[in-house]
Amino acid sequence: MPDFTAALGQLRAHDPARALPPLTITERVAIRERIVAAQPAHTKTHGAARRSLHRKQRRRRIALAAGLTIVGVALAGVFGSHTTTAPQSALAAQMDRLARIAAGQAWTGIPGPGQYLYTDSKGVTTLTMDGRGGRICHIQQLVERKSWIATDGAGAIGQTLNRGFFSSPQAKAGCAAAGITDPTAQRESMHNRFGAGGLSFPTRDWHSLSTDPATLLVQLRTLDGGPRTAAEDFVHIGDFMRESDTPPAIRAALYKAAALIPGVKLMGPQADPTGRTGLGVGFYASGNVKSELIFDQQTGRLLAEKYEDAATGKLTDWTAYLSQKIVSADKLPDYPMTPPSTDTTASVNGN
| HSE value, Cβ hemisphere, 13 Å, CA-based, for 19 | 0
Q: How many helices (H) and strands (E) does the chain have?
A: 8, 11
In a shared domain, residues 96 and 7: yes
In a shared domain, residues 102 and 123: no
Give residue 188's pLDDT.
Answer: 85
Give residue 64's pLDDT.
Answer: 26
Give residue 142's pLDDT.
Answer: 95
In a shared domain, residues 211 and 88: yes
Q: Is residue 323 part of a domain?
A: no
Give residue 88's pLDDT.
Answer: 61
In angstroms, what CA-CA distances link 260 with 64, 92, 130?
21, 8, 39
In a shared domain, residues 102 and 240: yes
Q: Is residue 324 part of a domain?
A: no
In a shared domain, residues 56 and 165: no
Indicate the helix (H) or strand (E) that contains 25: helix 25-37
pLDDT digits (tens, 9 = 90+) for 235-248: 999 999 999 889 99
In a shared domain, residues 202 and 297: yes
In a shared domain, residues 169 and 31: no
pLDDT digits (tens, 9 = 90+) for 260-303: 999 999 999 999 999 999 999 999 988 889 999 999 999 999 99
Q: Is residue 185 part of a domain?
A: yes
In a shared domain, residues 102 and 151: no
Q: Is residue 274 part of a domain?
A: yes
In a shared domain, residues 120 and 136: yes
Q: What is the mean pLDDT of the chain?
A: 77
Q: Is residue 293 part of a domain?
A: yes
pLDDT digits (tens, 9 = 90+) for 10-49: 544 444 444 444 444 444 445 544 444 444 433 333 333 2
Q: Is residue 283 part of a domain?
A: yes
Residue 213: what are its φ and ψ, rounded to 5°?
-60, -45
In a shared domain, residues 275 and 263: yes
How far apart are alpha carbons 182 and 134 in whole angstroms?
A: 18
pLDDT digits (tens, 9 = 90+) for 103-154: 999 887 678 899 999 999 999 999 998 999 999 999 999 999 999 999 999 9
What is the secondary structure of 76-144 as a DSSP string?
Answer: TTTT-S--TTSPPPHHHHHHHHHHHHHHTS----S--TTEEEEEEEEEEEEEEEE-GGG-EEEEEEEEE
Q: Is residue 308 part of a domain?
A: yes
Give the count of domains, the chain.
2
Q: Is residue 320 part of a domain?
A: no
In a shared domain, residues 34 and 130: no
**Domain membership of residue 21 as a residue range:** 2-108+198-315
In a shared domain, residues 100 and 226: yes
Q: Is the pTM of this model over 0.85?
A: no
